[in-house]
Structure 1
Amino acid sequence: MDDDDYWNTSETKESAFSFDDVLSPQEILAIGKKACSGQSEDSVFNSSNINSTRRDLVPLASLVSPKALELIVLAQSGNDLKDAMPEQHITVAVTLRRLVLGRSCSLHVHRSMKSKTELLDGAIELGDGNAILAIVCFLLQTLNKKLVHELLSSRPLALSHYVGYLHSEGKIAELTDLLTMLDRSSEAAMFQFEHMVRCHGDDVEALLRKSGNLQKNHFTQPHVDGHYIKMLTDYCKLLEWQKCADKKELRNKSSLRCLSYCCESHWHEGAGNIMSPLTLCQRQQITPLQYDWVVLNVHANANKWDIVESLFTKKNWFGRTTVSTHIPIETLLSRLAELKASEHIMATCVDKIQSNEERIRLAHKYKIHSVIAESAGKQKDRSGLFGMT
């Protein structure tokens, strides 16, 4: 039998070109989890043996729910009914299948409350975000808004999708109404605040005006978190300070960025002056730890080590220099090393540590020879002296 006769026989055609063996969803999800036939675990083609910067593939199960995948597999198998059917015969299941597969369908054939609720619950069960959003929007068109909000309040997944949709589309008024009706006033207020800052950028005057309105209309609602109220109050104070400072580079910047500017340009201003670092700290309730950290970085980066030393060290009753700072000592040492501080300053910091072992460990870590020598001398440890590098 020649080649043409072989391939034209009916038996060969059936065995070689059978498309009836459609993979199940479980088999599709398993693709990539096991080696192909003829490929051993130690094969050079095994992905674990290839030096590549390509990240691992995302599991299919994390992208599509098993039930949605079943619909897709059914459609690809050819067993799915694609023909148009009379409107009165279109069931919830048919509509959901068409939504998931991206086919055209009319949601308006579902007129009863029962049918609409089943649509929403079916989409949630399938876990298809697009279907959920399409149905929620349909419900808002055909039902009372309050009724839709009640439906969403008992369906967290649908509510989450809808909140995300409103936020991404910038529909803040609708989002605020929804969250307020659901007694989530704190979230509504924060979405309004975020939207205000995004829209008005560095326009301090507009931000001040809008912040006042926001405070009256949203941050006075019941159940708004007290932390959020304080945050907005502090933000308004900062905007007022920025308005007085009248520096373009400081508009709508954080308190710490403003403090950094004051330390750089107005370090010697006395307390009470609007640009004094101490005045800003008091006004914005900047913590001592934050103040110390900003001052350290600003003056060390400017090579003003005399200011750093005068601020972080002091003399005790016995005339010995000690460190006075709110920054944890190991964090301080690490940062000083990065900023290329002198050995004298580093040694002063290490001397503050009570534990002798810890002091020696850090002295070796940061190569503070004076501390190593002093500790070795006290312990009469000659090997410690010779171990300095």
Structure 2
Amino acid sequence: MDDDDYWNTSETKAKAFSFDDDVLSPQEILAIGQKPYSGSGEEGILNSSISNIKPALVPISSLVSSKVLDLLVLAQSGKDLKETKSEPEETVAITLKRLVLGRSCSLHVHRSLKSKTELLDGAVAIGDGNAILTVVLFLIQTLNKKLVYELLSSWPLALSHYIGNLQSEGKISELTDLLTMLGRSPDSAIYQFQHSIKNQGDNVDGLLRKTNNLLANHFNQPGVDAHQAKMIADYVKLLEWQSFAKKNELNNKSALECLAYCCKLHWSEGAGNMMSPLTVCQRQQISPLQYEWVVLNVQANLNKWDIVESLFTKKDWLGRTTLSSHIPVESLLARLSELRAGARLLATAVNTVTNTEERLRLAHKYKIHSVVIETLAKQKDRAALTNYKMTLNPQSEEYIYAENTLREPRTCIASQMLNL
């Protein structure tokens, strides 16, 4: 048989591939799966004669992918293929649920202003900070900023989260634009002031220039909170003083820390000197209570109790030593005890308490034995004084004083009062 005859025979045609149509019909694919897999050569003939052995079938999955099979089954069912490509509609509720659960979702399917507003409203109602911030940032990306700022003015919680985000990322220009557009210029100035302090470092002169500009351009304007304006003005004075002092250890320090520095190293300076503690108090309007508290801690830690006593005690017209302090007595006693002040100073402090029971309670609490003994003697409570004497170390000064008071109460009390 020549080549032309080979290609034209019907037997050959039946076995040839059809190049006109590369796609098999569903029936053809299913037929392929049902064909028996015969062995090769004589073994296949021998095996076919054994009636109790079923022929092996080729799995259809080895010939066609599962995706194609699904499409074939769907085609035979008569359903439209386009229906399978559509996904469930991404509603606002579904998006919010995914945001709260931390699942991936696309906010860009929400294109209308109504849908975006509902997203923000829903996130605020849920109260989830991450969801709120995600929605706000989405609105910033897809809407006019002015419109977003107007929306945020209706949702204070969302506005608060967005302000915090701008602060943490250092986007001060955007923050000031937002607050200015919302009519909150004083808040904008405060944020600028905080940002300057945080980022200026140890450059006192640079911080002084920026703060002066803020004071002139924002805090000295009508309508600005008077307390805020005074606070900034006082801070400018502190920066001016730090610039004069030229001490790196004083940069970025508070007024009280600067006062403590002067109490430690410039205590003897006169009031006219810039480094004098009194000058610092006057310039920064430090209250008498704050001044006394700083002096107490600095001088006591330096073990200069003579300075502490001269500050907190004075003599009355009878020559008795009395306490003179703006610090509440109990707070002063607690701190003096912590600093290990002498018994005489503690006794002077507690004796200023006029209520007898309260004075006795404080004297017991801080173990001011002389005051306990005197108070019990004045109450003529001999039994209580005897019991208290038994709690003291024998032959100690306090023990002897209690014993003498039991014998001659009036003489001992008068003598003790003169010593104070």
What TM-score comes out, normalization by structure 2 length? 0.68
CA distance in structure 2 between the aligned counterparts of 1:350 and 1:104, rounded to whole angstroms: 68
Match of 1:37 in 2: none
Shift of 1:169: 1.3
Match of 1:321 in 2: 321
CA distance in structure 2 between the aligned counterparts of 1:94 and 1:333, rounded to whole angstroms: 63
Shift of 1:104: 4.4
Partner of 2:219: helix, strand, or coil? coil
Match of 2:210 in 1: 210
Q: Which moved more, 1:146-155 or 1:372-381?
A: 372-381
Shift of 1:86: 6.3
CA distance in structure 2 between the aligned counterparts of 1:174 and 1:254, rounded to whole angstroms: 30
After superposition, what is the alpha-carbon deviation per residue over 1:105-138, rounded to whole angstroms, capped at 9, x for unaligned? 4433433222221222233233333332222222
CA distance in structure 2 between the aligned counterparts of 1:84 and 1:363, rounded to whole angstroms: 87
User: Do structure 1's residue 366 and structure 2's residue 366 form an aligned pair?
Assistant: yes
Match of 1:3 in 2: none
CA distance in structure 1 between the aligned counterparts of 2:367 and 2:100, rounded to whole angstroms: 65
Shift of 1:189: 2.1
- Segments of structure 1 that go 5 or more residues without pairing to the other structure are 1-82
Identity %: 67
Shift of 1:97: 4.1
Shift of 1:285: 0.2
Shift of 1:383: 2.6
CA shift in 2, pair 1:108/1:379, >3 Å = closer
What TM-score comes out, normalization by structure 1 length? 0.73
Match of 2:80 in 1: none
After superposition, what is the alpha-carbon deviation per residue over 1:126-153, rounded to whole angstroms, capped at 9, x for unaligned? 3333332222222222322121111111
Partner of 1:217: helix, strand, or coil? helix
Amino acid at match of 1:236: V
After superposition, what is the alpha-carbon deviation per residue over 1:282-312, rounded to whole angstroms, capped at 9, x for unaligned? 1000000000001111111111111111111
Q: Which is greater in Rg?
A: 2
Shift of 1:90: 4.1
Report how many residues are paired.
306
Match of 1:286 in 2: 286
Partner of 1:218: helix, strand, or coil? helix
Shift of 1:162: 1.1
8 Å CA contact 1:372, 1:384 repeated in 2:
no
Q: Which has the higher contact order (CA 8 A, sep 6+)?
A: 1
After superposition, what is the alpha-carbon deviation per residue over 1:130-187, rounded to whole angstroms, capped at 9, x for unaligned? 3322222222223221211111111122212211211111112111221222223333
CA distance in structure 1 between the aligned counterparts of 2:86 and 2:121, rounded to whole angstroms: 23
Match of 2:26 in 1: none
Shift of 1:221: 5.2
Match of 1:350 in 2: 350
Shift of 1:235: 0.6
- What is the root-mean-square deviation of aligned Cα atoms in Å? 2.1
Match of 1:242 in 2: 242
Match of 1:135 in 2: 135
CA distance in structure 2 between the aligned counterparts of 1:213 and 1:375, rounded to whole angstroms: 62
CA shift in 2, pair 1:100/1:312, >3 Å = closer
Shift of 1:192: 1.4
Partner of 1:367: helix, strand, or coil? coil
Shift of 1:261: 0.7
- Segments of structure 2 that go 5 or more residues without pairing to the other structure are 1-83, 393-420
User: Do structure 1's residue 270 and structure 2's residue 270 form an aligned pair?
Assistant: yes
CA shift in 2, pair 1:292/1:84, >3 Å = farther
